[in-house]
Amino acid sequence: MSEKNSNKVGKVYLVGAGPGDPGLITVRGKSLLERAEVVVYDYLASPKLLKHVPKEAELIYAGKKGGVKHTHTQEEINQMLVDWAASGKTVIRLKGGDPFIFGRGGEEVETLAESGVPFEVVPGVTSATAAATYAGIPITHREHTASVAFLTGHEDPTKPGSNIDWAKLATGAGTLVVYMGIKNLPIIVKNLVDNGRDPKTPVAVVRWASTPEQRSVVGTLETIADIVRENEIKPPALIIVGEVVTLRDKIDWFEKRPLFGKRIVVTRTREQASELMAGLDENGANCLEYATIKIEPVDSYDELDEELERLHEYHWILFTSLHGVKYFFDRLHKKGLDARSLNGPSVAAVGRATADLLLTYGIRADLLPAVFTGEGLAESLLDQGVEGRNILIPRAEKAREILPETLRGAGAQVTVTPVYKNVAPQGKQQELRDDLASGKVNMVTFTSSSTVRNFLAMLGAESSDDVKLLMKDVVIAAIGPITAKTVTDNGLQVDIQPENYTIPDLVQSIVSYYTK
Ligand code: SAH
């Protein structure tokens, strides 16, 4: 029986998105996003969280950036939540930080309550505690302070009728954290000093806390307004006032990570970018993901299907990429077969990751070359003797011919079967060119020759001079010698190349480059 939508009761979940790092949402918040039908999200909620939302869900940006014209008024947002719920939807209202701390979350649920709409509220990590933590400032500390107050700096503190009793607050709490206070910073510090707080009290201002864009400056009540102006620190930022700020000298950890503040372009395929990005992220880098390759199935699997019928005739099957493994086994499974079809031939993998993936399909590679390249694999096979051997290579539609050619040259019978194809995705050209031209990018990483070629194709460069100009101040990291050669063949220089051609080694070399 089909359910009538009008009978379904909608519900609104006010969910704290956390301060910026998408990893700082609660488990409850994430699981709600995973079953959202409508998401109404703010400027301060990390857009990266939207990847948890089902594809069919409606995404509504509610805006609200201080000083900029609001996309929707608060009343419109309140009404929108009521209307969507009334139409039977599961609505997630995703708000930066904690919904009930200076986020007008209270007003939103008041409207829901008045309208009889069912709702729940999921707290979040508020930006005050996150900014303190990520700036290396324990917000309370036994030796420095036993109390903390959160206040808004949005109100003009000179106006009569301000909700903030500065006379009491100035010395009333050990640590003060001020939200939305950048514009009024000079008046805020004056008010604190005028009301008895020591002008030498340390102050930190932290912008975009917990994200790769985080920036912090430190001063005292006397100096901080000038420091913020000189350093052009803009909202969103928090002001932390109190003796605890001095602890930052000792325990600043986030901004001290080796790659902090470095913008690194990752050019792997979307599917494979994660390991490299995770490694770079872990070291504090700001990864800009440009998936230069999109992996797609080949148009026809007739060729592969024929080979799958006669796998027993092969002496060797060579897997030269992760995708080769994946698409080969996907098709095998689709045909109702499994790893047992490979009980005849020996299996070789080009590198460790490919061998590891094979293992997850139930196959332990019989051969792993000393050097993880097509040439390395060819050499290891030649050592075993390939004359008269039947060899199958399931791989990309377009790939280097060195492996099959070398093997044929040594008398092997080689069948190359395309199981997937690489295509360069379109559409990000201007964004990439702008990022490079503005000097925003510190490094570009390449993990295969096709990432180099597709990267250049994506740049849409007119000439090699155009490329050189765009890449003038950009450091280039290449995973191995073949990739590096493709880079130099295109008139660019390789600055970083690990000794071993693996992602962890690449990450390590990048870290060493910036720490040496
Ligand atoms: N509900 C939110 C606060 C919303 S008010 C929370 O709990 O964090 C908006 C203010 O929050 C901004 O003006 C800024 O002062 C602060 N803020 C939010 N995210 C921030 C971040 N990542 N870094 C620094 N300040 C942030």
338, 228: one domain: no
- Ligand 1 midpoint to CA 208 (Å): 8
4 part of a folded domain: no
CATH of the domain at 167: 3.30.950.10
Q: Mark which of 93, 124, 155 sits at the end of a domain.
A: 124
C-alpha torsion 43→288→464→481, nearest 10: 180
Q: Are residues 141 and 244 in the same domain?
A: yes
**Domain limit, last residue, from 251, 279, 303:** 251
What's the sign of the alpha-carbon dihedral 368, 371, 375, 379? negative
pLDDT tens for the chain, 516 residues long, are: 334 455 677 999 999 999 999 999 999 999 999 999 999 999 999 989 999 999 999 999 987 665 455 678 888 999 999 999 999 999 999 999 999 999 899 999 999 999 999 999 999 999 999 999 999 999 999 999 999 999 999 876 566 667 788 999 999 999 999 999 999 999 999 999 999 999 999 999 999 999 989 999 999 999 999 999 999 999 999 999 999 999 999 999 999 999 999 999 988 665 566 889 999 999 999 998 876 667 899 999 999 999 999 999 999 999 999 999 999 999 999 999 999 999 999 999 999 989 999 999 999 999 999 888 889 999 999 999 999 999 999 999 988 889 999 999 999 999 999 999 987 666 677 888 888 988 889 999 999 888 888 888 788 776 778 888 899 999 999 999 999 999 999 899 999 999 998 999 999 999 999 998
Buried b or exposed e, range 153-185, using 16+ CB within 10 angstroms: bbbebeeeeeebebeebbeebbbbbbbbbbebb
Residues 289 and 234 reside in one and the same domain: no
Are 412 and 503 in a shared domain? no
Q: State the distance from the centre of ligand 1 to the C-alpha of 283, rounded, in angstroms.
A: 25
Report yes or no on 256 lying in a domain: no
- Report which ligand 1 atom has the smallest distance to the Cα of 210: 22
For residue 304, is it within any domain? no
Report how far ligand 1's centroid is from the alpha carbon of 179 (Å). 6
Say yes or no: 435 and 337 in one domain.
Answer: no
Rounded to whole angstroms, how far apart are CA atoms 179 and 177? Answer: 7
Ligand 1 proximity of 154 Cβ (cutoff 6 Å)? no
316 and 412, same structural domain? yes
Q: Which residues are registered as beta bridge partners of 18?
A: 97
Which atom from ligand 1 is nearest to the alpha carbon of 181?
A: 15
Out of 134, 179, 185, 211, mutate this one to test ligand 1's pocket (max ligand atoms within 8 Å of CB): namely: 179
268, part of any domain: yes
Supply the CATH number for residue 48's domain.
Answer: 3.40.1010.10
Say yes or no: CB of residue 18 within 6 Å of ligand 1. Answer: no
* Nearest residue to 118 via CA among 251, 228, 8: 8
Indicate the number of domains in the chain. Answer: 4
The reply to whether 409 and 331 lie within a common domain is yes
Dmax of the chain from CA atoms? 94
* Domain around 246: 129-251
Q: Is residue 5 part of a domain?
A: no
Q: pTM here?
A: 0.74
Q: Is the CB of 97 under 6 A from ligand 1?
A: yes
- Rounded to 5 degrees, φ, ψ at 240 are -115, 120
Residue 111 shares a structural domain with residue 215? no
Last residue within a domain, chosen from 124, 145, 171: 124
Question: Does residue 300 lie in a domain region?
Answer: no
If you measure from the C-alpha of residue 106 to the centroid of ligand 1, how many angstroms do you get, rounded to a whole number? 16
- Among 15, 98, 127, the mutation site with the greatest number of ligand 1 atoms within 8 A of its Cβ is 127
Atom of ligand 1 nearest to the CA of 178: 15
CATH code for the domain of 498: 3.40.50.10090
Does residue 258 belong to any structural domain of this protein? no
